[in-house]
Chains A and B, each alone.
Chain A
Amino acid sequence: MTTRSAILVCALVGLIADVGLSAAQGTGRGRVQGVVTDAETGTPVSGAIVSVGQLEVTTSDDGKFLLTGTERGEVEVVVIADGYEVGLVTVNGRSRVTIELTAALGAEIILVEGRAPVSAQEDTYTITADEIRALPGSGNDALKALQSLPGVSRVPLGLGGLVLRGASPRDSSVYLDGIEVPILYHFGGLASFYPSSLLDDIDLQSGSFGARWGRTQGGVVALTSRAGRADRWRVGSEISLIDASLRAEGPAPGHGSWSVGLRRSYVDAILAAALPRGEGALTLLPRYWDGQLRYDRGKLATGQFTAMVFFSDDLLRLASPDLQPDEASMDDGSLRYVSRFARAAVRYQRQVGDTDISVQPWIGLGKVAVLVDGQGTTRTNLPIGLRTEVVRHVGASELAIGLDLQGGRSELAALSDRAPGPGVIPTDGMEVARATTLWHGDLGAWAEGRVRLGRALVTPGLRLDRYGLSDEWVIDPRLGYAQELSSAATLHAAIGRYHQPPLFSDVDPLYPDQPLVASSAIQTSLGIEVELPAEAAVAITGFTSDSDKLLVDVVTGATSAASGGTSDSGGIASISGELLDDQFGAYEYREPVGRGRSRGVELLVKRSGPRWSGWLSYTWSRSERTGDPSRSYDWRPYVLDQPHVLTALATTALGPWQLGGRVRYASGNPYTPVAGTFYDTDSQTYQPYDGPVLSARLPAFFELDLRVDRTWKRPWGAIKLFLDVQNVTNRVNPEGVTYNFDYTEREYTRGLPVFPSIGVEYVP
């Protein structure tokens, strides 16, 4: 018997931005994620030490690990576990691997204790797809889990859209592998457009992001998809109450890999089958598809090639079995809502010495439409883009430059009511046709350095953009700073200017002289992160944002929430308008004369241990806007201003069971109360008029979510059954205000009731 020695290194990990999984973070831009298993049985190995250079982490109970901040390019992974031979494998600096360990015959264990250096890092929250799918209340959905993070406001009725540090949803951007996507969710919240099972992780930067990202004055969400596994073919699936998905991945020619996925909802089929028969019965039938295809081959050292295609398709119909489509009635119910987009991209990456090069051109299609009796508003677009990046590593520092181009063809065809505007007399029922086609493009060039100065990291950046719609050149300087105060504490600070171009949805051909200019914000942040005992950490961040040249209604002014609401009034219709502004525009004539400001403090306390993990997230913030300065310069709350947002969640494993719970509390949204009414004799209805704009606030929101997972692991894969129940107590959360016919009585619109999500997932 040969005596083999194994060295067991025990180190406390540095500050981590990831939660849940065992994770460690460095300063590089690579990432190694995977699972350690027994080569003979395939069972996961917990407690194994996985190291890349100076970074080390211990695998969790299911053998998984995550190392971020590794060097990009090929890296060597060392795995040490009690009772096994040392595992050595070389992987890409951004990949997901399975490492199989062989049992050792006899071992001498030497314990070495130490402490890994705390890294100075930008303020970013990262969640892996595996973590998200275990989070209670998110229904196995990656993007929904973002609402549990600090700085993210609650959107009513489970609708989609991101409100980051009080910024409007149109002011934040979502990217998938560097490609900007127009929507995050199917039907504004049913499910995210990209399945969690095909994602590596999600980075949330609520503000103060670097020069790599532009055309955004709020925050950035960057999704990273994962390459398919190349060792053998696998087929996985997931079935839940509302949709079913199928995915496959495996080897491709040229030592590459394929990854393909398809998902389809069937809630429309269920509703149609259950449609009540009878005069006047109408039902909304939503249906969505999404699909993904990805091909990878090569290595960074010799050139890595990735090709990907993904699409999302939503259709909403209003149907009744008793109505004929050609029935000559004012209410024949032919309402259709369509939202679809597709993107195709190729990416070439190569590491040449100390230089990383990345080039990614892409092209897309898109359409959104709301049609009643075949008429309404239709917007189509054909976007194209190009992202290039060159990073030069110099010691512990790096310099990066890049190009960020995006443009294409956009088209509008609409037959709808005409909003009052300058020179247009306000009358009801004035339907007009609008049509326009534009070719437009934005060009961005940026440079950013990451300079290591002892225990500090300085990140200066500069971005130069040209916006085609507004014919403007803008310059955005940005600066980040991180300082290791001790081995357990890091200070972060950032300041920067962020411009955002007007959108095609802001263009109205009826008003060719309507000013189109870029809005902008100056953002600052200051925070500290401290590592605590028992694998816990706390982070506190203060932030400000001051924005200018925001679009505001300058004709009709504020109306009460009861009358449907404008952007000034609050209420569900007003909030929906905010969520859909970048797709449909606004039913208002607006000019860029408004201002905004946000102030706040974010607190995150987290713990990730072998028996339980979780976090407490609290945000105090105020987000305010001004309206038309010709009417008033008063600041008033943003329609999604929520001074207090608290989320506490925890998960624990009990053998094959995993239990989790989440508690959420959020301030109610502001709205404009009704001050009085008058009778409109033309429409024979009572019309409300306003109290002070946005002077009232709905009662607070509170919700308890619970989740139970049960996993059966076999050599051929794992079967996971999950039950995720949102609003377990069926609490009636007010989401809006409604009135009776003469506005003498009021009641609250109820939010979502108890909502179970049950599903089965097969993971090969």
Chain B
Amino acid sequence: MRTLALLTLMIVAPGCAEDGPSASTLIDAPRILAISAEPPVIGLDGSAEVRTLVVDADGAAVDAAAAGLSVRACSPWIALQDPDRDCGPDASVALVLDGEVARLDLAAVLARFPPPPDLVIPDGGGGTVDAPCPVAYDHVDLPIVVEATVADRAGELVRLTARKRVRVTWTPDVARTNPRIEAFRIDGAEATTIAAGAEVMLQVGPELTSLDRTCNGDDPPALVLEPIRINLFATAGELGTVSVDARYDPDDAEELETTTYRAPDDGDAVIWAIATDADGGTGWARFDVSTR
């Protein structure tokens, strides 16, 4: 049915008011760009460290205290659609901030939101994790809501709300990592300076050792590095795409996904790259670009 709904929307797509990549990738106001949990997948008795990337209108990271950051965990048993309605103060567990890190203790969340009686968790957990191909594991998504208040360029305080879902599994031996971004190249070279107004090819890639292993669709399946998505944001200039979908071959580590970038006519730009994988793993990196 969703497919059919998408079909309907495609038919009426000419009416959609989508602005194109540059509008959504431009940082010109405070934003919450990413939330990560370390580890990204936790067990029923697990815990995680939650970090948030908040940037101001100039692309600079804002620390938790300056952003008035609050982090809370919501019930994992309902579909969160409205953070205020579905995860308000009376329907959430506040996480304690220690500097930039908020600690998530799942036992406290499950004590507040016990599983529904008709949810059956098999003895020993469900699903299997067999080498060399890890397969799907049973899990529930635990919503985390982050709120921040940051001043925009006019000095007006802007309230920001973001959501992340942390995977909670009862399948044993599921270990996942957050992807890390390592490479940043301009026209194939490690550079930070671009001719003003020039259009270049940006290449952003992960640290391959930070990628989890998964199986491809071959028969028999082969072990490959997991695909990730890299979203790019810039404070100036124009990015060619909203995101790049990357699937890496360990035998061809030099192959990086690309997108175009038109440099600003003058001044510098801050580019943030956010990497996400299918398990909810998240990582980010900042790159500063100057024009000549």
Contact surface of A with B, Cβ cutoff 8 Å: 157, 284, 316, 318, 330, 335, 337, 370, 372, 376-377, 416-417, 420, 422-423, 425-429, 555-557, 559, 564-565, 572-573, 576-577, 580, 584-587, 675-682, 684, 687, 689-690, 735-736, 738-742, 745-750
Contact = CB atoms under 8 A, between A and B. Distances in A.
Given A425-B141, A678-B161, A689 B85 contact: yes
- Residue of A564, A576, A681, A741 with highest tally of chain B CB at under 10 A: A681
A707 B209 CA distance: 70
A416 B16 contact: no
- Residue of B33, B77, B79, B278 with highest tally of chain A CB at under 10 A: B79
A687 B1 contact: no
A742 B140 contact: no
A687 B141 CA distance: 17
B119 interface: yes
B72 interface: no
Contacts, number: 147
Nearest to A505: B1
Interface in B100-145: 116, 118-120, 139-141, 145
A679 B140 contact: no
A427 B12 contact: no
A677 B82 CA distance: 8
A740 B23 contact: yes
Given A573-B8, A577-B4, 19 more contacts: A370-B7, A423-B116, A423-B119, A425-B140, A428-B141, A572-B9, A587-B1, A677-B161, A678-B83, A678-B163, A680-B162, A682-B163, A684-B276, A735-B15, A738-B17, A741-B24, A742-B24, A747-B15, A749-B16
B79 A426 contact: yes
B76 interface: yes
Given A576-B8, A681-B34, A689 B3 contact: no
Interface residues of B, number: 58
Contact of B3 (A376, A420, A423, A678): A376
Contact of B4 (A370, A425, A682, A750): A370
A427 B79 CA distance: 8
Interface of B: 1-12, 14-19, 23-24, 31-35, 76-79, 81-85, 116, 118-120, 139-141, 145, 160-165, 229, 231, 242-243, 245, 274, 276, 278, 280, 282
Contact of A681 (B4, B9, B35): B35
A585 B2 CA distance: 11
Contact of A576 (B5, B35, B276): B5
Contact of B12 (A337, A429, A687, A749): A749
Interface majority SS (helix, strand, loop, mixed), chain B: mixed
A681 B282 contact: yes
B19 A580 contact: no
Contact of B76 (A420, A422, A425, A684): A425
6 contacts: A157-B11, A318-B10, A564-B6, A675-B82, A679-B32, A689-B85
Contacts of A750: 14-15
A748 B23 contact: no
A740 B218 CA distance: 39
A679 B161 contact: yes
B166 to A, nearest CB: 10
A679 B31 contact: yes
A747 B35 CA distance: 31
